[in-house]
């Protein structure tokens, strides 16, 4: 028979919230309940009769609660198929059938997020619960499994609307969810123990959100993760795939400046087209927009400071997709939310993943995320002329910008402002020419500016071009067998050059 009626239930949950209406329905339907410890006490408070698992197993909970349900009298009732041979064995050993298994596992990930205490973490590795889930899911043709609180609503519907009658499709769907829960749980435990000695790709994210589409309308898209952990959405339409990719780039860039003076950045297709640091956030916005007020149309805006009304009024004059900031003054938020489709995000944390990966060919590549940020002490002067203090400040600013632009990239900066950039070019010379062209197009004077490169100069041509444009200082990683040619060119042009020893390719 495809239809099964629930007549008995085993309940073993860590958190009891959300269980009350289920207990009420089980009581109404006369379903026999078995339970353990704290769950048993909770159910009894709801006025329902409960048989202790210890009475079923004839063994008490032992080893500080590590062993409660691991017994043939429990697992026999779950795993038995509703066929004559199995029924005879249950009768022989006086084992009751268990038609419904409800579990809420020990909160391993929650514990991991709140403590480094190994003993406490290990105790939150659930053994009995995960075994109950797997057993009930395996026997889905006869048994209903509820593997987490997320499935309570589905169970409640089966109890209320069908009086405990379940179809095979119901049970199979719950079994699917059960193995989703168990595989995610085991992946979290493995990743806790894994120290990288056995390279293996294991990632599991339980939460997901279906997007309108992927990168293009003919592609399907899904976000796996919990955006609410990073942002409060204050207004606007649902985020798209491309929005999320751009937001990720914006957060990565602004994480470099989260503790700096007021800084604003404008991004388009993951690349910064404008960024500046100034004494006030309004001035930072104006300087960032001046970097390229054409590309800013439809862009992603991000700030490291609260958006006040004056800044909101200035921002409101252009069209943008997303605005991100740590906070918004009430009057600023009221103004910006008048345009209902504009997305406003209040960022809680400039979180950057320690590892990054992407699908490639018939597999996946994974690497450490580029979290290296060079500071003044890391700069090694390679030329006769050392950069002055103001130049060092601009060099560090430009180097942060270059790190977050697509390779090959060249950045021109002056007074903590991006004045020109070339990115995604197959030639470093072309990237420089693009940066110069953009700077001049938007009215900037390159004389006295600094230049940053994401990788070394194989030839002195970029230095020679920079010299003609009045560039006074250069930062680059170095590492070319012809580094000396670029150093000599700098000396001839009285340009200061520093090397970081760290390349920042971005593909």
Find, among 440, 500, 425, 489, the residue nearest to 461 by Cα. 489
Length of the chain: 507
Facing residues of 412 across strands? 420, 451
224 is catalytic: no
225 torsion bin: left (phi>0), alpha (psi -120 to 50), beta (else):
left
* Phi, then psi, of 306 in degrees rounded to 5: -60, 140
**86, 138, 184, 206: which one is catalytic?**
138
* CB contact at 8 A, 277 and 263: yes
Give me the residues paired with residue 343 across strands: 322
- Where would I find the H helices in 345-500? 389-403, 428-441, 461-468, 483-493
Q: Residue 344 is inside which H or E element, if any?
A: strand 343-347
Q: How far apart are CA 364 and CA 139, in angstroms?
A: 34
Phi, psi angle pair for 299, to nearest 5°:
-90, -175
The Cα–Cα gap between 40 and 66 comes to 17
Q: How many CB atoms lie within 10 A of CB 196?
A: 7
- CA-closest candidate to residue 442, choices 300, 255, 222, 292: 292
Strand pairing report for 473-476 and 496-499: parallel
Residues 6 or more apart from 30 whose CB is under 8 A from it? none
In sequence order, the 6+-apart residues with CB closer than 8 A to the CB of 316 are: 335, 336, 339
Q: Is 206 a catalytic residue?
A: no
Q: Which residue among 269, 406, 433, 440 is the active-site one? A: 269
- Sign of the four-CA dihedral 297, 300, 303, 308: positive
Q: What is the Cα 164 distance to its own chain's centre?
A: 39
Closest CA to 255 of 400, 407, 399, 438: 400
Q: Write a three-state SS string for 259-283.
A: CCCCEEEEEECCEEEEEEECCCHHH
Task: Point out the residues that are catalytic.
Answer: 138, 269
């Amino acid at each position: 028979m495809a239809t099964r009626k629930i007549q008995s239930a085993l309940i073993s949950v860590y958190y009891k919230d959300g269980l009350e209406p289920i207990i009420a329905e089980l009581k109404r339907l006369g379903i026999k309940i078995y339970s353990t410890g704290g769950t048993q006490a909770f159910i009894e408070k709801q006025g329902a009769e409960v048989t202790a698992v210890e009475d079923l197993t004839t063994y008490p909970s032992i080893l500080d609660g590590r062993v409660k349900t691991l017994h043939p009298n429990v697992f026999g009732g779950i795993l038995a198929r509703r066929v004559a041979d199995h029924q005879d064995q249950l009768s022989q050993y006086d084992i009751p059938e268990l038609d419904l298994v409800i579990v809420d596992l020990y909160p391993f990930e929650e514990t991991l997020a709140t403590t480094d205490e190994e003993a406490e973490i290990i105790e939150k590795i659930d053994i009995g619960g995960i075994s109950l889930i797997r057993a009930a899911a395996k026997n889905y043709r006869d048994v209903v499994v509820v593997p987490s609180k997320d499935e309570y609503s589905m169970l409640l519907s089966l109890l209320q609307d069908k009086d405990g009658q379940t179809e095979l499709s119901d049970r199979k769907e719950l079994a699917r969810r059960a193995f989703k829960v168990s595989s995610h749980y085991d992946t979290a435990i493995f990743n806790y123990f894994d120290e990288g000695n056995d390279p293996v790709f294991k990632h599991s994210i339980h939460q997901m959100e279906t997007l309108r589409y992927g990168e293009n309308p003919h592609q399907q898209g899904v976000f796996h993760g919990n955006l609410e952990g990073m942002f409060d959405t204050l207004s606007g339409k649902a985020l798209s795939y491309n929005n999320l990719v751009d937001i990720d780039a914006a957060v990565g860039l602004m994480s470099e400046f989260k503790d700096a003076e007021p800084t604003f950045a404008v991004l388009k297709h993951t690349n910064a087209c404008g960024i500046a640091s100034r004494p006030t956030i309004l001035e930072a916005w104006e300087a960032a927009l001046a970097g390229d007020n054409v590309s800013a149309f439809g862009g992603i805006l991000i700030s490291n400071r609260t958006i006040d009304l004056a800044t909101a009024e200035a921002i409101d004059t252009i069209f943008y997709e997303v605005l991100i900031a740590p906070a918004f003054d009430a009057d600023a938020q009221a103004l910006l939310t008048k345009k209902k489709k504009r997305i406003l995000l209040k960022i809680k944390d400039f979180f950057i993943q320690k590892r990054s990966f992407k699908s490639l060919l018939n597999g996946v590549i994974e690497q450490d995320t580029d979290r290296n940020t060079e500071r003044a002490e890391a700069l090694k002067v390679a030329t006769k002329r050392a950069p002055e203090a103001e130049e060092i400040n601009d060099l560090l600013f430009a180097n942060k910008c270059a790190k977050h632009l697509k390779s090959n990239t060249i950045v021109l900066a002056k007074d903590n402002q991006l004045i020109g950039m070339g990115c995604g070019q197959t030639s470093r010379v072309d990237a420089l020419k693009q940066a110069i062209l953009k700077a001049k197009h938007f009215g900037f004077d390159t004389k006295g500016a600094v230049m940053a490169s994401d990788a070394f100069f194989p030839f002195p041509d970029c230095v020679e071009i920079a010299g003609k444009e009045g560039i006074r200082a250069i930062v680059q990683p170095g590492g070319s067998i012809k580094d000396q040619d670029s150093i000599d060119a700098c000396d001839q042009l009285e340009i200061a050059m520093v090397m970081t020893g760290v390349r920042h390719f971005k593909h």
